[in-house]
Amino acid sequence: MHTEVVAPNGESLALAKEILKRGGLVAFPTETVYGLGADARNDVAVASIFAVKGRPQDNPLIVHVHPEYDISTLVEEPKEYVKQMMHAFAPGPITFVLNSKGVVSPRVSCGLNTLAIRIPKSESALSFLRAVDMPVAAPSANKSKHTSPVTATHVYEDFQGEIPLILDGGRCVGGIESTVVDCTGDIPLILRAGIITAEDIRAVVGACEHAKSGGPVKSPGTKYKHYHPHCKTAMFAPEEVKKAVALATEWRKEGKTVVFLVTEATQAALTLLGEREFYPLGETPEAASRNAYYYLRKAEKEYGGLIAFSLPETEEYRGVMNRLKKACSNE
Ligand code: TXA
Ligand code: MG
156 alpha carbon – ligand 2 mean position (Å)? 16
Residue 109 CB partners (closer than 8 Å, separation 6+)? 60, 61, 100, 115, 116
| Res. 222 pLDDT band, cuts 50 70 90 | low
Residue 265: phi, psi to the nearest 5?
Answer: -65, -45
Measure the CA–CA gap between 135 and 63, rounded to whole angstroms: 6
329 — pLDDT class (breaks 50, 70, 90) = confident
Residue among 180, 183, 223, 323 to mutate when testing ligand 1 (max atoms within 8 A of CB):
180
Ligand 1: distance of its center to the CA of 247 in Å? Answer: 35
Q: How confident is the model at residue 291 (pLDDT cuts 50, 70, 90)?
A: very high
Please report which ligand is nearest the Cα atom of 178. Answer: 1
What is the rounded average pLDDT of the residues 194-204? 98
> How far is ligand 2, taken at its centre, from the CA of residue 3, in Å?
21
Query: Measuring from each residue's beta carbon to the nearest atom of ligand 1, which residues come in under 6 Å?
Result: 30, 32-33, 35, 59-62, 95, 97, 109, 112, 114-116, 118, 138-140, 177-178, 180, 191-192, 218-222
Which ligand has its closest atom nearest to the C-alpha of 138?
1
User: Is the Cα dihedral 81, 82, 83, 88 positive or negative?
Assistant: positive
| Ligand at shortest distance from the CA of 172 | 1
Q: Look up the pTM and report it.
A: 0.96
217 has a pLDDT exceeding 60: no
| pLDDT number for residue 249 | 98
Distance CA 269, CA 278 (A): 12
Residue 216 has pLDDT above 60, yes or no: no
Instruction: Give Cα separations from 322 to 35, 62, 164 (angstroms).
Output: 20, 20, 32
Task: Tell me phi and psi for residue 208, to 5 degrees.
Answer: -175, 135
Average pLDDT over residues 146-156: 98
Rounded CA gap, 202 and 244, in Å? 38
Q: Decide which of 224 and 50 is more confident.
A: 50
Q: Which residues of 186-214 are buried (b: 16+ CB within 10 A; e: fewer)?
A: eebbbbbbbbbbbebbeeebeebeebeee
Query: What pLDDT, on the 0 to 100 scale, is given for residue 147?
Result: 97
- 3-state SS assignment for residue 132: helix
Residue 212 has pLDDT above 90, yes or no: no
Q: What confidence tens digit (pLDDT) does each residue in 61-95 have? A: 999 999 999 999 999 999 999 999 999 999 999 99
Helix (H, G, I), strand (E, B) or coil at 175: coil
CA of 251 to the centre of ligand 1 (A): 35
**Side-chain half-sphere exposure of 75, counting CA atoms within 13 A:** 26
Does the pLDDT of residue 289 top 90, yes or no? Answer: yes
271 C-alpha vs ligand 1 centroid, how far in Å?
39
